[in-house]
């Protein structure tokens, strides 16, 4: 098995990565949701004044991964599907939320959503993660019923 180490170089939350916005995730222990706020600057552009779709995808992926790691599990993204609903404008705050939907043996299904300041859904994602390394379980929760889409 592979052990995943944290070298603080994560593209979105790494404190040692000079390109990282150093996202700070908060966790709701009751719902299992990981949440962070982010205001994308012009260096995250795909088109003029619009965030690059790859960055949107990375934000969704990171929120799901944080929800998983908060359970004490190590997992890597095996498959991700993203639905872009509206262009994500630059220099406007967004909130990304990730949650575990279900765990079956070594496969974890999770979902995430990216919202504008007023709560409007801008993008959503679903992913399957494959557990790797030495995993411990922080809670008995194996399935979460409150979906994000």
The closest of 50, 41, 125, 48 to 88, measured between CA atoms, is 50
User: What pLDDT was estimated at residue 138?
Assistant: 52
**Considering the entire predicted model, what is its pTM?**
0.86
More confident residue, 63 or 17: 63
pLDDT, tens digit, for every residue of 24-39? 999 999 999 999 999 9
Domain ranges of the chain: 26-131
Q: Does position 16 have pLDDT exceeding 80, yes or no?
A: no
**Hey, what CATH class is 26-131 in?**
alpha beta
CB 67: neighbour CB atoms within 10 A?
29
pLDDT, tens digit, for every residue of 45-101? 999 999 999 999 999 999 999 999 999 999 999 999 999 999 999 999 999 999 999
């Amino acid at each position: 098995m592979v052990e995943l180490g944290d070298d603080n170089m994560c593209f979105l939350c790494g404190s040692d990565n000079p390109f990282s916005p150093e996202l700070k995730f908060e966790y709701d222990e009751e719902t299992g949701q990981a949440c962070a706020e982010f205001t994308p600057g012009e260096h995250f552009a795909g088109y003029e004044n619009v965030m690059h779709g790859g960055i949107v995808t990375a934000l969704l992926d990171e929120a799901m991964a944080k929800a998983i790691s908060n359970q004490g599990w190590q997992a890597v993204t095996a498959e991700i599907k993203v639905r872009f609903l509206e262009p994500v404008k630059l220099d406007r705050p967004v909130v990304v939320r990730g949650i575990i939907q279900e765990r079956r043996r070594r496969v974890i299904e999770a979902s995430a959503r990216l919202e504008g300041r007023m709560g409007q859904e801008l993008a959503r994602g679903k992913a399957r993660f494959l557990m790797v390394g030495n995993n411990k379980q922080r809670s008995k929760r194996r399935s979460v019923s409150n979906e994000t889409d």
